[in-house]
Structure 1
Amino acid sequence: MLSLLSYFKDDEEGTGYRQHGPITRIYYYIVIIGAGGTGGYAIQRITKMMSAFSNVNSFLLIADPDTVEEKNLLRQPFIQQDIGLKKADVLAKRYGSTYGLKIGSYSESYIESVESLEKLFSLTDYRHETGQFIQKVLIGAVDNDYTRNVMNDFFNKTDDLIYIDAGIEGVFVPSQDTTIEKWTSEERLDHLESGYSGQVVVGLKKHGKIALPPINGVYPIDANDVIPPSHNCGVEPYQPQRMIANEMAAFQISTILNELFSENIILIHYADFNARTGNCRPVYVDETMVGV
């Protein structure tokens, strides 16, 4: 178990954390990148927890420029009336009004640089209070390694950050040019058994030092995926995702946020899961923490 408040017990390293007095509470400034399958269901759960933990100060900003399409209704938390609207704007308005929360949205463009992430985390001035530390929490719910590389670079550049990344296996599809009737029996089996596994990794950086390695330190990011998501507009994904895998990834994210909101602690460094069997194998922070 890793307690965030334990980092504020003293200021021997000159971090400046106690310049306004002892830190006794944490304000969670959460930015989630991606409001599709995994991100959409995670937003459902996070906003409900933000309402339930009314004694915890928190803010959520949703970033995704994608527009709701009819195909999204099959495995993402949208309805017919949402078609044609921006995903981030829809979910921010829906769950903000449902739970009486102020939820921000950014739907102008994809997050393709560290500078754009820095801007999303810049709205902190009026949130400062004596005895309160603003904890940045970045949640990645994307399906491309280009954006993961950007978020990993942001983690490396930022002195203090919790970076939660969720990824799931795509469904195996032999070829876009063939129909399922033409697949071999082996291809059919691979298709039926794929798309259920995934992982959620929690990276933590405090005092400018890595305490928990992020996604790239656990499952190295594919450097070959170098095409920005803005260049893929209109291109159908070769590997679709399963709704049950999206929901299980979102659930794993929500368990991490639950511990942060309830006790200001991190229990799990990363977890591998299979949505078909319901199995989850967590690796606890005590096994992997590398320093303070």
Structure 2
Amino acid sequence: MLLIGTGGNGSLLLTHLLRIDQGVRALGGAGLHVQAFDPDTVSQTNLIRQNFAPSDVGRNKAVVLVERCNLYAGLRWDAQPRRLTKADFQHEVQLLITCVDSGQSRREVHDLLAALPHHQRPHYWLDCGNEARTGQVILGQPRQPQGGLPTIIDLDPTAMQGQDDDRPSCSAIEALTRQHPFINPEVALRAAQIIGEMLYHGVVTAPAIFVNLEGNVRTVAQELGTPRPRKVEALIPFPKPVQRPRTRRASRTAATN
């Protein structure tokens, strides 16, 4: 599982992935293995909306968060303080998660996937993005351009437009006013919801989730790709439950003298 971007959405989603990993292990699965990619370092204003502490300032975002997860749960997840490359797909990738939230970075990921042979593309691509008060989480199947779930680019080609807008805020006030303070937690939670459904139940009830925190409308709209929940390939095979033979209880008889 590859996580691209550990900023506003990615830093919060990584914590949810840790909880999902613990649940998978409790059910008898092998757990998740996550590689987190991010070339950026933690700044002072990142502490307002992202999942970092003051002691993290100046360190690489992916390294900080992966170290924290590994120490907390005894994991061996990997941090990559760089951008994604074609070499990262030499081994099979079940799920690619992008939390880049910019047209330029999303273009780079799309072009990279398009240059790969179909058998090297990830089975699923979960894209998480947001504007100031709205956001979306889209699950697609890059390996199946015909008949599979559409990717974020299939649904909205304009998602690749625009330049990176990751400039640091000059103050905490600017960091809070540029975006709704709770848009990132909402997007990260909905992404975790999709991943959890895939792993725990093998279905996706809503491959596209749209969040709107604007005005009085504070609901999550789910757009179903099919009328019924869509079956998906199991990302982690769980062992079959052991069938224990049923034993008949001995009937109790009341003895009378």
Question: TM-score by structure 2 length?
Answer: 0.74
After superposition, residues 174-253 of structure 1 pair within 5 angstroms as 195-206=132-143, 209=146, 211-222=148-159, 224-225=161-162, 227=163, 240-253=178-191
Secondary structure in structure 2 of the residue aligned to 1:273 = strand
Matching residue of 1:26: none
Which runs of 5 or more residues in structure 1 are unaligned?
Answer: 1-29, 125-133, 170-194
Which is strand-richer, 1 or 2? 1
Matching residue of 1:142: 100
RMSD over equivalenced CA pairs, Å: 2.8
Q: What per-residue deviation string (whole Å, max 9, x for no partner) do you get for residues 168-224 of structure 1?
A: 11xxxxxxxxxxxxxxxxxxxxxxxxx221111111144664501100111223554
Specify which of 47, 53, 56 is matched with residue 29 of structure 2: 56
Matching residue of 2:127: 165
After superposition, residues 92-171 of structure 1 pair within 5 angstroms as 92-107=66-81, 109-111=82-84, 116=85, 118-122=86-90, 124=91, 136-156=94-114, 157=116, 159=118, 160-169=122-131
2:33 is matched by which residue type in structure 1?
Answer: F
After superposition, residues 9-88 of structure 1 pair within 5 angstroms as 30-54=1-25, 55-57=28-30, 58-88=32-62
Secondary structure in structure 2 of the residue aligned to 1:53 = helix
Q: Is the Cα–Cα contact under 8 Å of residues 139 and 165 in structure 1 kept in the other structure?
A: yes
Secondary structure in structure 2 of the residue aligned to 1:37 = coil
Secondary structure in structure 1 of the residue aligned to 2:22 = helix
2:49 is matched by which residue type in structure 1?
Answer: R
Indicate the structure (1 or 2) with the bigger Cα radius of gyration: 2
Structure 1 residue 119: deviation in Å?
2.2
- Identical aligned pairs, as a percentage? 22
CA distance in 2, matches of 1:75, 1:90: 16
Matching residue of 1:23: none
Aligned length: 216
Structure 1 residue 269: deviation in Å?
2.0
- Higher mean alpha-carbon deviation, 142-151 vs 82-91, is at 142-151
Highest relative contact order (Cα 8 Å, sep 6+), 1 or 2? Answer: 1
Q: Is the Cα–Cα contact under 8 Å of residues 201 and 270 in structure 1 kept in the other structure?
A: yes
The alignment status of 1:91 with 2:62, answered yes or no, reads: no
Matching residue of 1:286: 226
CA distance in 2, matches of 1:246, 1:135: 25
- Higher mean alpha-carbon deviation, 263-272 vs 56-65, is at 263-272
